[in-house]
A and B are shown apart, each in its own frame.
Chain A
């Protein structure tokens, strides 16, 4: 089962959203080049989830134009969009007694007509994507019995089963152990898809991303390749931390060393 994945670019121009007169996103420009792995960084509450939902047309935006390839996201029918862009949200829970494979098969929804049954191909795609997140052995388990990290990986398999060209991930590694986090990021990096992922671990972002966008209070504070974006000044300004930027001895990618803050007694 080899699906030749091809990416599409994503561009968002001048995206703004405010609630109760407070700007959550203000004039955000984002460019995610075709086939790139772009990391979306920023402290808690900087607007990452809001932006990702807006790009996937879940939340409404006050202003801004979003294009996938050459098509305006807001002009595409939902189904057509779901075949090109798949989203894994930060929190996505259910009380329904589903099995893991059922959840992954939901990814076939935009590809099938209302009365069409799941085909052998659908099943094969779903099983293959479960294998890629290392969970094929849990295909028949109940969803409610999985750990948080396993659920997160199943959601990724579900998104991949949509066979999109663009993968939008909101903190895909926040429940994962270091081994599975590295594995997952390597998997999406080599998927051939265009990937936009909100990440919290800056060293993981530096290790995997080609391109970074840093949000701070709803605005883009910096964007570019990791070696340009990660500077001691930016980290101090955006995260309020003191850090040295070094190069990773094996990969040559930037690596950050953080200093514990002084705590007044």
Chain B
């Protein structure tokens, strides 16, 4: 506000990374980091497990028992009780994998939404889409529809889609989306959806009502279980594939929808397909973990600062970095404040809000 904008041009003349430079190394590094993070973070927690124990359980349950002999010369961990094995397989691993899927999925959704809406502040949580998903999920539960976890995920998807369409409709003025107006629409839709969600939960007067509401409103990975991991993995995979195919097209949106169209992009189709995919991924993730905010804002901006704005790099790298990020934030959430198990959404909000304000100042509030 105080400094004139001259410095903007002088800051650095070269963009972060060259077009199509050798990035294989960065990807491999991120992939290795993710794999390492999964194994190590499963071992961390209230009752300490060794990396060796984690590896043993994981390879055995996957029918890959022979691997543990070859890799790192790890021997089968002696005294690995059934209880500890179950802790790894039934509790820790699902939680870590859920963190990875939620982090990666939300980061990709955020990156796509930022481009699609030309709004650097777009994020499934800030635009009220996660809250819409919560409402959809809770509505299915409250209605007593015995559709199982897939039904809840389906409700969340519809809720997310409804919220997204509503925010796009409210966020525009004579056909033009303005970033601030959109965020305000998102806040309104999100607040309303959250209020209705709380109302529904309390109305059914479940004995655990407040705890339940807390889960849907601030997001937690504490109840992560294996079956949900499969559903989430499927949704994130679909999301990554579709967004991957759209990556080159998304680059063409840099100068707006008209330029994209004149470059041969079927703007309406791309927009609707990606909108539905974003809602699907957000919905399924929220159904399993509640509303975890700011990951979709933080990660894509960090990744762009690292490798530039090309979506062919930003999207896959956001997925990897987002996964690693949420794994470690959740590790902190569950062990730093022992014996409390903090909802991870509280941590991401504390990290995300300063970045949100920085983006608001740097990119929107000119």
Contacts and interface: CB of A to CB of B under 8 A. Distances in A.
Given A58-B258, A94-B254, A97-B304, A144 B9 contact: yes
A162 interface: yes
A96 B309 contact: yes
A112 to B, nearest CB: 7
Nearest to A92: B255
B259 interface: yes
Interface residues of A, number: 43
A230 to B, nearest CB: 31
A263 interface: no
Contacts of B176: none
Contacts of B265: 78, 109
B14 interface: yes
Contacts of B249: 109, 114
Interface string B1-23: 00000001100111110111000
Contact of B19 (A83, A92, A105): A105
B341 interface: no
A252 B241 CA distance: 61
Contacts of B304: 97
Contact of A114 (B12, B15, B248): B248
B258 A89 contact: yes
A109 B264 contact: yes
B263 A106 contact: yes
A98 B262 contact: no
A144 B261 contact: no
Given A94-B255, A95-B363, A102 B13 contact: no
A10 interface: no
Contacts of A86: 262
Contacts of A109: 248-249, 251-252, 263-265
A106 B251 contact: yes
A97 B309 contact: yes
Contact of B245 (A97, A102, A114): A114
Interface string A82-122: 11011101001111111101110111011010111110000
Given A81-B264, A109-B263, A114-B247, A99 B258 contact: no
Interface string A140-180: 11101100000000000000001000000000000000000
Contacts of A112: 248
Contacts of A81: 264
A144 B8 contact: yes
B246 A110 contact: no
A248 interface: no
A79 interface: yes
A118 B264 contact: no
B212 interface: no
A56 interface: yes
B254 A110 contact: no
B263 A162 contact: yes
A81 B19 CA distance: 26
Contacts of A103: 254
Contact of B254 (A58, A85, A96, A162): A96
B266 interface: yes
A116 B248 CA distance: 9
B252 A58 contact: no
B244 interface: yes
B264 A78 contact: yes
A110 B264 contact: yes
A116 B249 CA distance: 11
B264 A101 contact: no
Interface string B216-255: 0000000000000000000000000000111111011011
Contact of B14 (A82, A102, A110, A140): A140
Given A97-B308, A112-B248, A114-B246, A58 B20 contact: no
23 contacts: A78-B261, A78-B266, A80-B264, A86-B262, A92-B259, A94-B254, A94-B255, A96-B309, A97-B309, A98-B15, A98-B309, A102-B309, A103-B254, A105-B19, A114-B246, A115-B245, A117-B312, A118-B19, A118-B20, A140-B14, A140-B15, A140-B18, A145-B9
Interface of A: 53, 56-58, 78-83, 85-87, 89, 92-99, 101-103, 105-107, 109-110, 112, 114-118, 123, 140-142, 144-145, 162
- In order of increasing CB-CB distance, the 10 nearest A-B pairs are A82-B264, A110-B264, A79-B264, A99-B15, A109-B263, A87-B262, A114-B245, A96-B254, A145-B9, A94-B254
Given A78-B266, A82-B262, 7 more contacts: A82-B263, A102-B19, A106-B255, A109-B252, A117-B312, A140-B13, A162-B263
